[in-house]
Structure 1
Amino acid sequence: MIAYPSGTATRDNTAIRFRQSFFNQNLVFLKVGSDGNIQLKNDSTSAVQIYADAHAYTKTAPGATAGSTLVPLKPARIGQVNVPANDSVLVEPLGKAGIPSGGVSDVLFTMAAAKSSASGKLIVYPSDGSLPGDTNLDYGLNLLVQNQVLARLGADGKFRIRNAGSKAITVSLDVAAYLAEPSAAVKGTTTQPTPPYRLADDVRVPAGGTYTVAPLDRGGVPAAGVSGVYLNLTNVHHTGSGIIRVYPSGTAPTETHAVTFMEAMAYSGALPAKLGEDGKITVHNTGSAEIRLWIDQFAYFKEPATGCAGGAAPAGMQKASKVSVADPEPYNPTTVLQASPTAVGSLGILEFAYTDGIGRLMHGRANPDALWSIQWTPIHGQEGYYGQPTLGEQADGRLNVLAHNLSGNVWSRTQATKDPAAWGDWVNVQKPMGSTVTVARHDDTLVAFAVDGAGSLWALPQYAANDAYRGWIQLGVSGVSTATAPLAVPVADGLRLFYLDASGVWRTALYARGALSDCASLSEPGFTGTASVVSSPGHRVRIFVRSPNGHILTKKQDGAGVFPQEWEQVGSLVAAGSPSAVLSPGSGKTEIVVRGTDDRIHSTGEIVQGSGQWRAWAVAQRHDDTYVPATDPTAFAYTGTNGPTWAFIFRTVNQEVRFYTPESETLRSTVTSPTFKGRALPKPPAAR
């Protein structure tokens, strides 16, 4: 059976193979003609009865109501289920085989049935829906059959499989894609049906052999910006039995079914096929004999536009460069986060993390009213880490740490339980990065950012709250510096990113649901170091950087969200390090600390809330405080029994953590800098 858009020439393709006295199904994406119709052509010598069921549609342009977007996956098995005779089973796909644990409206999977001693049919429908009148898969006596299924999930995230047959049957479920809800954390691809196009015409694939499909720039598919294509595979005139597997080029095969075939039968099977990093797809013949293969293309999946220029290869199409690290960095700043309280009325624990000079990843926990009771724990296991780690909190309150492994990859570790605090296992995210990593909260999900060795900007999103990280996605920006991690700040429409390019220009962009927009340059070339950003009510942000001549500069968004062209200089101090700024929760003023050329920490702050008028710089360490900072300071806000306040910390050359709090703050206008009380936090355990 051939299918093509009405009003166009007949296309040489296979939409479905059929056989005598038996129903066959195949789910294909079909482009409609200009009259809104599709054409079906029976190219056999006998009449055939057709049932056409519509399962979904795509829009030619965004509508008033946003629809779900498709995310192709490397095929993986959800599981095998036994469906009793004249009964149904519930299937819960969320959180399995690459599917997020939330934000999913539908899943696409191949349902393959084992040989049965009876005939029957299988029907898939939402867990809270009524039994529909169509059939997803007919099975027969001693036949191997399969079909691609688009399953809508019920409100509980499950779907039901009904067996309208007299015998129980076992089916395998191999997912190849899912549809992300409009509100999902990451936007998927848009589906672009094309006139059917034959990619492979009677190709011989030997037993155990593979065939590589290259769909880009063919049959209406663009040469770039494509994550996958919708294929239909047909094999005929074979002499053996087996399974055809389809998976992204450059990856290992998994135990999944695209087309299951047996002796002296012709089979077709359709599925969304995710592209490898080289833009190609591998087809693997697991059978015991050579097969003849036809492959037809019916649609492609277009990556969302980033809205940023930069000349990088499209998302998913550029391989990150391998990064090798010779030695750890001993004096990177310490990361601080106050966790959410574990009970009503309790105080959130202060969480600290840093890496030391021998590659240990140290984690500290302290009651904000009893910092001397801090407990330091090395959480690196047998691995070594370098650079400043980053801390995030899952939607359910569990702590997550991301750090740069000495292998070049970013590794992630999340608490298995928050109270009592206990760590889960390390997870290698499997992508070499040149910069260190940062993380920020995007609604109820976490998103990490880093730059690969080639200077391309990547995001590592959770696709649902409390979900695992699913892999890096490229954001289409190249020429980014690897010397510093991107900075991400939550704003009304997503995350405001700040990053330094290879020429030393500070740039900004808005990240939302996996794509960038609202991109702008903030500086001339020649800048180095890291930025610090303060967010005011109304999601207005102010950025602080160190200029090429060492002065601290700042810009603040105006009411329209636009940054001014010119920088404002904050006093005359010449700094040796990067600034760290915080919005004081006590006074409502922005406070800044920085390491000076005299090896002392200096402080300034606003004279009046939101004024951008600054006190004179003053040394924040008392004259009898002889501790020399070996790291840049980290300023942070936190809440103790006496209310909200702020503090800053640094580490000495001996990795001792010094903690400083302002002794008094006031809401009134003042040009006087606060005095700071400093103390040493207990040392971490000795290296073993």
Structure 2
Amino acid sequence: MRRVTSCLALSVLLVAGLAGPGLAEEPVLEDIEVPTDFVPIDDPFVLDPGATDGGGAGATEQPAVTEADVAAGTSRFVPLPPTRVLDTREGKGAPKAIVPPKGSVVLQVTGAGGVPATGVRAVVLNVTLTSATGPGFVQVYPTGQGVEGASSNLNVLTRGQTVPVLVTAPVGDGGRITLYTHGGGHLLADVSGYFLASGETAAGRYRPLTPARILDTRTGVGAPKAMVGKGSAITVQVTGRGGVPGSGVSAVALNVTATGAPASGFVQVMPSAGSTAAGSSSNLNVVARQTVANLVVVPVGDGGAVDVYSSSGTHVLADVAGWFTDDSGTPSGTGLFVPVTPERLLDTRSGTKPGDGAQVPLSPRGKAGIPADGVSAVVLTVTATSPVAGGFVQVLPTGQGTVGGSSNLNLERVGQTVANAALATLGDGGGVTLYTLRSAHLLADVAGWFTGGSTSGELPPELQGLRVAERSTTPYDPAAWPFPTGSCLDTAEQALADADVFEPTLSDDGCSVVDGLWRDPWAGTQHSAVEEVRAVHVVPLPNAHASGGDTWDAAKREQFANVVDQLEVVSNGTAAARADRAPEAWLPTVDSCGYAREWAALKKAWDLSVTTAERDALAAALAGC
């Protein structure tokens, strides 16, 4: 199998109470009640890491964009170190002046901050409004191609407030984007990547997942059960968890939440052990006792990990939404991005207000320039407004997520308006579901979509009918799954004989293989010594045990363990690397598609369950077939 390479986007949410999935943004309503205890942040804590406005500082050299790439209409993601390209407080990228209410800034994004001058379809920015002059919203749209007020990206409630949000902004006329502010304030923008015109490619393709929580310092998930200390950072393993494969990943998409901060500050997410200095940039700002979330797309660092830094100390949660491939995989046309002019797909204010626990369906396909098929995920800004009480909103693929298992935005008080971005995976029927814990109006604006197969948004046929369940915690006893049996030419020896490229050489008594030539199907290497290879189960026995096999009788366990068709002959190195890992933690470097098909077929044939993360990893591998 080939190794699956990926990159994922991470959104960090800081919460003081409930945390949930989703990102939403909408115009601020005029009748919002301003809380009297709000403490504004004077500065967004986003520092300029020394980049310039020149063309391409800090950028990695990319292959030239061909006419075929441009004609394809699709694009691949290229991450960048966070670089300030706009700050109206200092005159960077725009005049040095506060942007007045109902004013706008036209920002040149191509040729700046490491973004190439040509071939760019969209840019990924962390946009911040600070020193707000009043309640309102900020809208980001392609210059010359959008309508003011037709969509929104972030909302502010009070004078002096600071609010950041991640924006995937389609590039408009002349390589520019327009930032419109309804209420006025200073505008800042830090670029962290871009989408470059591309046809089939290995790197930069997005692999959507069912959102999964991989970090919660309140409960000890993914890190010690303790608040991230003031001026401190924790390391969070992202590859091999939550459906992200163990290799082939360039970046991840996370929804990051901060909660319970004792003082105002900021949270920064960065590649582990990378060159980015702690405190040199920020992904979200938090006020004391506030719960706030933001979407983050961050390259993975050493060992597939990211570091999460807090300036003031806070609890942090992170839900993974997907990942981007690196250049180690096979080129494909799936997972490429197609931007659209932002357009509103959902606004419940024109109808009945969703009640407590409501699940609001959204069908993006066939709307706003999105095709009716071949779509795997969409880029949304999700906004919740006029809630009856504090709660959260979760965005999940229809029929494929667990309500309450993740979150995208948090609401803390009656009448609040909160928005966030979401990379929304399409589920059954190509749909997305927006869940709200407490009654609130919901809005959703779309900015683009990612390519998928013809059954995009639905499970591949190989995975349909698989039973989804958590793994059993019953202890595994190797003696209950006898393999090998030690008999003459037992199943393990028979597998060695069958896998020999030529005719195997047997021992004098014919009971074991002593010589031959084998090709490792999971690594593509050849081995001529029997001591270098071994027979392993496609579905490891401990996994079978935890997936329903713990209820089998002894005869069925022995039968499963000794079916030759369930065995592959691989090198000792491959066997050790895979060990008992499931697909969400390990996929082969060669033919991951065939591996996924074989794994799924065995699970079906023996009525063994899969976890959601396991199923998502299999779906990602099958999407590249």
Q: Report the TM range for the smaller structure's normalisation.
A: 0.5 to 0.7
Instruction: Return the index of the structure with the highest Cα Rg.
Output: 1
Deviations 1:116-155 (A, max 9, x none): 2211111122221222743201111221111001111224
Cα distance change, pair 43–323 in 1 and its aligned pair in 2 (3 A): closer
Q: Aligned partners of 1:212 and 1:256: how far apart in 2? A: 17
Deviations 1:589-620 (A, max 9, x none): xxxxxxxxxxxxxxxxxxxxxxxxxxxxxxxx
After TM superposition, give the deviation of residue 78 of structure 1 in Å: 1.0
After TM superposition, give the deviation of residue 202 of structure 1 in Å: 2.9
1:162 aligns with 2:346: no
1:42 corresponds, among 181, 187, 197, to 181
AA of the residue aligned to 1:208: G
1:121 aligns with 2:252: no
Q: Aligned partners of 1:161 and 1:110: how far apart in 2? A: 12
1:295 corresponds, among 444, 452, 464, to 444
2:364 corresponds, among 203, 215, 224, to 215
Q: Which position in structure 1 is the counterpart of 2:531?
A: 347
Q: Which position in structure 1 is the counterpart of 2:298?
A: 151
Q: Secondary structure at the match of 1:98?
A: coil
After TM superposition, give the deviation of residue 237 of structure 1 in Å: 1.4
Q: Aligned partners of 2:589 and 2:578: how far apart in 1? A: 19
Deviations 1:295-333 (A, max 9, x none): 1111101127xxxxxxx6458466569789xxxxxxxxx
Contact 2:205 2:336 in 1 (8 A): yes
After TM superposition, give the deviation of residue 173 of structure 1 in Å: 0.6
Q: Which position in structure 1 is the counterpart of 2:193?
A: 56
Q: Which position in structure 1 is the counterpart of 2:419?
A: 268
Structure-2-length-normalised TM-score: 0.55
Cα distance change, pair 394–346 in 1 and its aligned pair in 2 (3 A): closer
After TM superposition, give the deviation of residue 447 of structure 1 in Å: 2.5
1:26 corresponds, among 157, 165, 176, to 165
Q: Which position in structure 2 is the counterpart of 1:389?
A: 565
Q: Which position in structure 2 is the counterpart of 1:197?
A: 343
Q: Aligned partners of 1:108 and 1:160: how far apart in 2? A: 14
Flag the structure with more relative contact order, 1 or 2, with Cα contacts below 8 A and sequence separation at least 6.
2
After TM superposition, give the deviation of residue 272 of structure 1 in Å: 0.4
Q: Aligned partners of 2:616 and 2:443: how far apart in 1? A: 36
Structure-1-length-normalised TM-score: 0.50
Contact 1:227 1:303 in 2 (8 A): yes
Q: Secondary structure at the match of 2:190?
A: coil
After TM superposition, give the deviation of residue 445 of structure 1 in Å: 8.9
Q: Which position in structure 1 is the counterpart of 2:87?
A: none
Structure that is richer in helix per residue = 2
Deviations 1:162-217 (A, max 9, x none): 2122xx21100101011110213685500112110111113522101100110001
Deviations 1:597-654 (A, max 9, x none): xxxxxxxxxxxxxxxxxxxxxxxxxxxxxxxxxxxxxxxxxxxxxxxxxxxxxxxxxx
2:590 corresponds, among 423, 442, 455, to 442
Cα distance change, pair 387–277 in 1 and its aligned pair in 2 (3 A): farther
AA of the residue aligned to 2:418: Y
Q: Aligned partners of 1:256 and 1:268: how far apart in 2? A: 16
Cα distance change, pair 118–196 in 1 and its aligned pair in 2 (3 A): same
Contact 1:231 1:298 in 2 (8 A): yes
AA of the residue aligned to 1:104: V
Q: Aligned partners of 1:185 and 1:223: how far apart in 2? A: 26
Q: Aligned partners of 1:240 and 1:163: how far apart in 2? A: 28
1:179 corresponds, among 321, 324, 334, to 324
Q: Which position in structure 1 is the counterpart of 2:151?
A: 13
Cα distance change, pair 6–451 in 1 and its aligned pair in 2 (3 A): same
Question: Unpaired segments of 5 or more residues in structure 2?
Answer: 1-137, 218-226, 467-493, 501-517, 539-543, 546-552, 602-613
Q: Aligned partners of 2:143 and 2:187: how far apart in 1? A: 17
Q: Aligned partners of 2:402 and 2:232: how far apart in 1? A: 33
After TM superposition, give the deviation of residue 156 of structure 1 in Å: 3.1
Cα distance change, pair 176–469 in 1 and its aligned pair in 2 (3 A): closer
Report percent identity of matched pairs.
Answer: 21
Q: Secondary structure at the match of 1:25?
A: strand
Q: Secondary structure at the match of 1:232?
A: strand
AA of the residue aligned to 1:163: S
Contact 2:264 2:288 in 1 (8 A): yes
Q: Which position in structure 1 is the counterpart of 2:126?
A: none
AA of the residue aligned to 2:290: L
Q: Secondary structure at the match of 1:381?
A: helix
Q: Which position in structure 2 is the counterpart of 1:671?
A: none
Q: Aligned partners of 1:353 and 1:68: how far apart in 2? A: 32
2:437 corresponds, among 279, 286, 297, to 286
Contact 1:258 1:271 in 2 (8 A): yes
Question: Unpaired segments of 5 or more residues in structure 1?
Answer: 305-311, 325-333, 355-359, 362-376, 400-413, 418-423, 430-438, 454-466, 476-512, 516-688
1:514 aligns with 2:621: no
Contact 1:137 1:147 in 2 (8 A): yes
What is the number of equivalent residue pairs in this alignment? Answer: 393
Q: Which position in structure 2 is the counterpart of 1:75?
A: 211
Q: Aligned partners of 2:362 and 2:591: how far apart in 1? A: 39
1:242 aligns with 2:391: yes
After TM superposition, give the deviation of residue 451 of structure 1 in Å: 13
Q: Aligned partners of 1:250 and 1:28: how far apart in 2? A: 27
More off after superposition, 104-113 vs 85-94: 85-94
After TM superposition, give the deviation of residue 238 of structure 1 in Å: 1.3
1:259 aligns with 2:434: no
Q: Which position in structure 1 is the counterpart of 2:282?
A: 135
AA of the residue aligned to 1:392: E
Cα distance change, pair 314–106 in 1 and its aligned pair in 2 (3 A): closer
1:108 aligns with 2:245: no
Give runs of aligned pairs for residues 577-656 of structure 1, distance below 5 A: none
Cα distance change, pair 379–428 in 1 and its aligned pair in 2 (3 A): farther
AA of the residue aligned to 1:101: G
Cα distance change, pair 24–383 in 1 and its aligned pair in 2 (3 A): farther
Q: Aligned partners of 2:245 and 2:314: how far apart in 1? A: 28
After TM superposition, give the deviation of residue 159 of structure 1 in Å: 1.7
Contact 1:136 1:147 in 2 (8 A): yes
AA of the residue aligned to 1:55: S
Contact 2:202 2:328 in 1 (8 A): no
